[in-house]
Amino acid sequence: MAVSEKVLSARKTLGGGEPAERRITARLWFPASLLLIIVGWEVAVRVTQVNSVLVPTPVSVVQALWRGLAQTGPASFYPHFWRTLQEVLLGFGGGVVIGLLLGGLVAISPTAQAIIRPYIVMIEAVPKIAIAPLMVVWLGFGIESKVALAVLVTFFPIFVNTVSGMRSVPAERLELMRSLRAGRALTIRLVIVPSALPFIFAGLEIAAVYAVIAAIVSEFVSGQMGLGVLILQANFRLDIATVFAILILLGLMGIGMTKLIELARKRIVFWDRN
């Protein structure tokens, strides 16, 4: 093999080992599949002549989406989208902080595990839809009850992944730090936390989706504003096209959050190609 070929091969390996053509093809799969689903949906609705009250056409969904985004006033999607996004981000942030703190404490302290873990498991075992009315009683009909429910839903995957990640450190790395007489704090900072980061970011992606679900469920129970409230109102009017349009916005919100987390993971956990 020529020297230039070796250099090119090394660059490809360092850059991820995947040809550019294959990466581009992989990125095209989602839009291609989405287009196929939309076309199949439109054809199926027209061929079967199903009642539009039950299943709207993609065209009517796009029209409903445009109406919600174009108009102003109480029926506009923008204030409701912003309210739901606030609930999601605040709940997600609170859940991440609590999950990281409790997960780190349980991972490094057997005493904390014996005390804290049973309570966390019990809380997680309770259906959150059953807790939502209690949040309304305790915190009112405002944004606080929605954020609190989102925190309860999102902290658990962060907690579990933090504990799993901090306990999955290879033994030889810990042995190396002991041989260097490194203290516990230094071992945690240089070895345990970096090893746990891939697990934590995986939990962040799960928690982001859970935060969206929790916000909508809480709005169903006691919402005065938000995309969940718009879904209920559209259901009462049998405006299923608007319901589908709002579901698209929620899906985009979830995709946007997971993409941001993915970008952060690539920059922070740059050594983990998975």
pTM above 0.95, yes or no: no
- pLDDT for res 91: 96
- pLDDT for res 170: 79
Domain 58-268 architecture: Orthogonal Bundle (1.10)
Q: What is the mean pLDDT of the chain?
A: 86
- pLDDT for res 210: 95
**How do residues 253-262 score in pLDDT, each as one tens digit?**
999 999 999 9
**How do residues 122-156 score in pLDDT, each as one tens digit?**
988 888 888 888 888 898 888 999 999 999 999 99
Identify which has the larger pLDDT, 130 or 197. 197
Question: CA-to-CA distance for 256 and 241, rounded, in angstroms?
Answer: 23
Question: CA-to-CA distance for 221 and 10, rounded, in angstroms?
Answer: 57
- pLDDT for res 159: 96
- pLDDT for res 223: 81
**How do residues 159-176 score in pLDDT, each as one tens digit?**
999 999 998 887 787 777
- pLDDT for res 158: 96
Domain-by-domain residue ranges, the chain?
3-48, 58-268
Identify which has the larger pLDDT, 59 or 49. 59
Angle, helices 110-125/77-108, rounded to nearest 10 degrees: 150
Q: What is the mean pLDDT of residues 193-217?
A: 94
Q: What is the mean pLDDT of residues 55-76?
A: 86
- pLDDT for res 5: 47
